[in-house]
Every structure is written in C-alpha cells, then in structure tokens.
Chains A and B, each alone.
Chain A
C-alpha cells in the first residue's frame, strides 16, 4: 500500500492538457450555464468531441474490447478537469459507472461485448439505473449491490421504478439491477422503448440532472445473473466513488483559484480584499485542504488502477475527505465573492450545487466513515 504512485505521469499531464484545452474552448462557464438552462440532458456536441473523438469514453475499457486500455489513474485526471469545468457530460455515468458495470459482466458474451464497445467508443450513452446516492459496496462494511426495485419477469421484460438516477435522461441504454425468478441480475433496456419512461427531475445540481426511470414490461436483455451482477455493480460503484473524489478535487481547485483571483482584484477600504489577513487565512486553509485532498484522490485512483486490496479503504478515505473539501471550497467561493457570488450570472453557484450533490453522490461522507469503521477495525460502541 505504501508503494502507490501519488504523482501524475507525463502521459497523464498530456491527457490533462488536451482535456483542459478542449473544455476551455468548448465549455466556458457561460456555455455551461446556457446548456443547463436548455433542457437538454447534457452537452451533446461537447460529449462527441470529448468522449468519442478524443477517446475518453473508453479509457477504462481494454483495447480488445474497443476502448483505450488506460486505467483509473487516467480517468481520474479527466474527472478532475470535468470538475474544474463543471461540465455537463455523461462521463461519470456512462464512461465510468456503465462501462465498469459492463466490464464486470461476461465480456465473452456477444451482447455484452457489443454494448461495451459502443459505450467505450462514445457511440452509445449508458447509465447504471441506481439512485445516485447509492453507496459503494464495501467488503465487510456493507451487503452486496443495492436492493433491486425492479422486477424481472422471465428474463426478457422488466417492471418497476428507480428514482434519482443520474445520466438516465439522455442515455441510450439503461443498465438495470432487477430481481427475477433466478435471483438478482443486471439487465439492459433501451430507452427508446415505449415501455420505458425517463422523467427528468428538478435537481439541485443543474449540470448533472437526475431522472426517475419507470419500466412497464419493458423488453430487456440479461447481461449478468446472480453469479456476477452484484460484484459488477459493486465494482462500478466503488470505481465511481473513487473517481468522484478527483472530480471533487477539480471543483475545489476551480473554487480556490477563482476566489484568489477575485480577492486580488476586488478593492474595498482602499486595498485589495485579498490582503486582509482574515480572508488570506481562509484561502490558505483551503489550499491546505486541497493538498491532502489531492493525495487521497490520487491514492484512490492508483489503488483502483492496480486493483489493490486496499482499494475499499482508499476510496472510503478519499470520499469522506474530498467531498467535504469540495463543499467547503464552494461555500467559501460564494462567501468571499460577496454579493456577486449569490447571483445567477456568476458561475460560483454551479460549483456549489455540484459540490453539494457530489457530497451525497455514491455515499455521503458519514457513510464512508461508517464503512471505514469496519474496514480498519474501529468498531462502534455496542448498545
């Protein structure tokens, strides 16, 4: 566990530069804002350029299955940049959660391989149909995958509802955990079917909207049965939570950078407000938090990339820590911007909304600390 590489490789730096340059060009705050208000589920043109043309949609998928054969370390760098831009693209939901869930199915099956290839190439947008708040499965700290709220009839149709699903609106295919006569399984459903309703919900985070999914006798294809489905979903949630820490780092980084920039320029009482010690200390304290957040996010990414047995601890630490750092940074960003921070035209609110909903996504900090209690043997009092 102590041999993890916590730095960024040259290749990772190059990937970051490419992603950042694309996002700077195509996704400035004004564009994010107008996209969020457009009613579209995500920025389709941006996702085509980033996911398909640049190939980030397939980073986690091996070459032979149509992906780029990279690891969670590279995906984490993409997540950092997406957080920094608070971009509205289905990276977490399709390229991470759906792709990793599919990787956990039998990729020797033609149907699985075909869908995985399409998701990896960014041709198809997938989404794992679980509530966004679902906590990663932690060995010893939780049960299996989340209980299914959808019923499988035979192995070809699904009925039921899942609420609060991120990335469902705009997805082509939903990966739905469901229980049938043979037990727990993971099923693929096309959203184009008339028996599938994806109803957008009004979400706190405008840039990652949630939807309620209802399936009523929808035609489905079983991708994994009881032998693999739980582990596949568990791995997807663990990976998603681990990489979300990098997104939170990116969010926090933007917030601090912008706050520093603003307080250096904004004058009150005859001097830049950034020269007041009370404010300087708050920003320095945030920087401190960022230093340790980066270390935990890098460690989680590396542990996932190397399939380390310490990955559950690494993810729980990173989530418990980075979630709070991102929220704190976004709250400070709004406060230290003063009145302008409270307005709709300044992008600070987008970051606060993302940070706060990221805090709850894939397990709130308290849930991750609870998982840690079991993982590192610090049991709660009995009785």
Chain B
C-alpha cells in the first residue's frame, strides 16, 4: 500500500479541482468523444487508483466515484465499461501488476479509452473448470515463442486487437508450474477466429485456433513458468468487478416479469403468484446483499461476497426467466429470432423471455461454474478441507487425458 510513501494524498477536493480543469480545457459539448477520453486518461482521472502517468493519480480507489459523478453531471462521455469489460477487468490489472514499463505505457491508454478491445485466451475444449490442464503449447524460438493450440468460449475475439493468453511452456513440469502468460496480437498470422453458435442462436463467443503464431518474448507477462500465478491475478479481478452503481429495487430480470404480471392480469394463476412472490423476495435479498457488498468495498472491507453474488444471480436469473416463459403461456412457446447474430454485448432486457431463459443458462457456467465457485467458498471462506488431488506433482505430459 501507499501509506508509507511521503506524497500528499490526493483527496476528493483535489480530484474535483482536476475534473474542473479537464472540463474547462475540453468542454464535452464541443470535444470529440475519443479526444475527451484520451484527455481524461492523461489527466489521471481514468482510474484514479492507478499510478500517475498511467491514467491515475495514486488516489484511493473509493474516490473514483467522486470523479465519475462530477463527469456524469457535466455530461462528459464515458468509456462504456461493459464493452471493454475484459480489458478493464482482467487485462489491465494484470498488465499493471506484471507488465514492463513499456507494456504498460503502450497498452493501458487505448485499453481504457476503448480504442483497443481485449479478449481472453484461457479456456480450452479440454480445460474449462480445470484451467491448468490446458494443452496449448508455446515453444521458444530465439526471441519468439511459437504457439499452437485451440481456445474456446472467447468473447469479443472477433473484435479484439489484443488477447491475454496462457500457454504451456514446459510439459515436463506439473501442470500448474509449466505455464507462461503472454499478450497475443490478434492480427498476427496464424490466429483464426471462428464464431461459435450457441443455444440462443447467437454467436457471442468464438473458437480461436492458434497455428504457428509467433509472439515476441517481450510480450510475455511475468517469468517463464509463472503463468499460473499471473493468471490468478487476472481471475481474482474478474470476480471483483461488480457494478459501481446502485441497483434499484426490481432493477434486474425480476422487474421485467413483475411488470408483465401487473400489465397482464389474464395470465395470473395462483401457482405463478406464489413463485413470483418468492422470487421477488429473493431478488430483493440478493439486491440488498449486493448493496451491502458495495458498502463494504466503499469503506475498504472487501469481503468474499463477490463470488456469492455471481452465484446468487446465476440461480435467480435462471429461475426468474423460467417463470417468465411459463407466465406467458402460449406466447412463451414462441421465440423472437433465431438469426445467427454476433452481439457485442449480452442484452438481457432488449430481447424476449425465451432468449432470457436460454441465455441465463450460461450464467452458472461462464466466469467459473457455480460448482467451482461453491468449492472456492467452501475451501477459502469456510476453511473446509480440499478434495484429495492426484494431479498435483505429476508432470503434465504424464497426466491421463
């Protein structure tokens, strides 16, 4: 932490002063969106807890809310965190933690402004929940690494300029120890992105085939063989990312089905009423738990509740969307559109109930399955003993596959 450093702390007043300076120099009404975002980054107001020169001011993370509120009130353009979620939530903290100065200076600014989209080349057909079982190989060739393998479930791969990539660099080591972490240029020869059509008919995700892709050693993050440790930083940050804004009551899926209930009395049955009330109560409980987590974070007491929220919402969304399809009866038998589309964002509210029902099935799989998250809670929060493991000290090449 920065407590021992003798530098005047950047406080809320100072941040407000800097926001005013930014707004005076770049009036949002007359400034190009991208120019404004670049200026904001350069003013250290992008992510205030990042170091000076890298979009921040070494300020307490909690003060970001002050900056965001001031800029929003002034009608300043934002950087659409949803669209650049992987870069923001996963790549950036990893580059900050493990990157060289050159990497940080080259990559963080266009990442934050959204000029360069990132994707994440972690999961493989044979390595999902057991991520460290991955088989994509990176073989040293002078100043480069030559990468061969297949990745899967890659959101935004078709839009991405860069990817964070983990690959096996030493098959003679046990699986966690033979992995290294790279930054992959998605425009390089040998990178092939194929849409992966999913249950909803859309292709949000991709398969990515890597064939003889040459990555310079200067785009490695962390030491050779230390990729698993680096990936832990990425994955922890994936789950910490929780919406900064407050969610109002009935703010999620429950609001949609509640409105339908109010507007369509002819659809009501007693059974659905009971189930709706139960889900409404649980949604409110989950919302309050999220609010409580937000308050804990704001006073600097991050709790393990982050992974709890993901689990809770996954279960709820599945049950609520299932109820919604049933409530609609005849209409629930129809689907709005099976066209193969490539959405940039998951749009739960812009589509109809059937879509929500099908898409919500992924909530308990993506970003860590509910089963794996339950294990994490059991072992790290409750301190229960780990499952016995047979793969820990065996060289990766000798593991059964």
- Which residues of A are interface residues toward B (Cβ below 8 A)? 1-2, 4-7, 256, 260, 263-264, 271-272, 274-275, 277, 280-281, 283-285, 287-288, 291-296, 298-299, 316-317, 320-321, 369-370, 372-373, 376-382
Contact = CB atoms under 8 A, between A and B. Distances in A.
B286 A292 contact: yes
Given A6-B292, A299-B288, A292 B280 contact: no
B133 interface: no
B374 A292 contact: no
B390 to A, nearest CB: 14
B388 A381 contact: no
A5 B278 CA distance: 25
Contacts of A6: 288, 291-292, 295
B5 interface: no
B268 interface: yes
Nearest to B248: A2
Interface in B313-360: none
Contacts of B285: 292-293, 295-296, 317, 321
Interface in B344-396: 371, 373-375, 377-379, 381-388
A264 B308 CA distance: 22
B261 interface: yes
Contacts of B296: 7
B307 to A, nearest CB: 9
B265 interface: yes
From DSSP, what is the main secondary structure of chain A's interface residues?
helix
Contacts of B295: 5-7
Interface in B259-308: 261-262, 265, 268-270, 273-274, 276-278, 280-282, 284-286, 288-289, 291-292, 295-296, 299, 301, 305, 308
B311 interface: yes
Contacts of B273: 373, 378, 380-381
A6 B301 CA distance: 13
A379 B276 CA distance: 11
B64 interface: no
A382 B265 contact: yes
A145 B103 CA distance: 69
A292 B312 contact: yes
Contacts of B269: 381
Given A295-B291, A369-B278, A274 B384 contact: yes
Interface string B5-26: 0000000000000000000000
Contacts of A1: 249
Contacts of A299: 288
Given A5-B295, A291-B289, A298-B292, A271 B280 contact: no
Given A280-B374, A288-B377, A369 B288 contact: no
Interface of B: 246, 248-249, 258, 261-262, 265, 268-270, 273-274, 276-278, 280-282, 284-286, 288-289, 291-292, 295-296, 299, 301, 305, 308, 311-312, 371, 373-375, 377-379, 381-388
Nearest to A280: B378
A126 to B, nearest CB: 32
A12 to B, nearest CB: 14
B37 to A, nearest CB: 29
Given A288-B312, A291-B305, A380 B270 contact: yes
A94 B375 CA distance: 43
Given A264-B383, A271-B388, A380-B270, A281 B289 contact: no
9 contacts: A6-B295, A7-B299, A274-B385, A288-B312, A317-B284, A321-B285, A369-B281, A376-B280, A378-B258
A209 B384 CA distance: 36
A7 B258 CA distance: 29
A376 B249 CA distance: 10
A145 B77 CA distance: 54
Nearest to B290: A295
Contact of B382 (A260, A272, A296, A382): A260
Contacts of B291: 2, 4, 6, 295
Given A7-B299, A283-B378, 20 more contacts: A2-B291, A4-B291, A6-B292, A7-B292, A7-B301, A260-B383, A264-B384, A274-B384, A280-B384, A281-B371, A288-B308, A288-B377, A291-B305, A296-B288, A299-B288, A369-B274, A372-B281, A373-B273, A381-B273, A382-B265
Nearest to B370: A281
B374 A281 contact: yes
Given A5-B295, A264-B384, A275-B387, A287 B282 contact: no
Question: Which A-B residue pairs are the 6 nearest by beta carbons?
Answer: A280-B378, A295-B288, A381-B268, A275-B385, A284-B377, A292-B285
A204 to B, nearest CB: 25
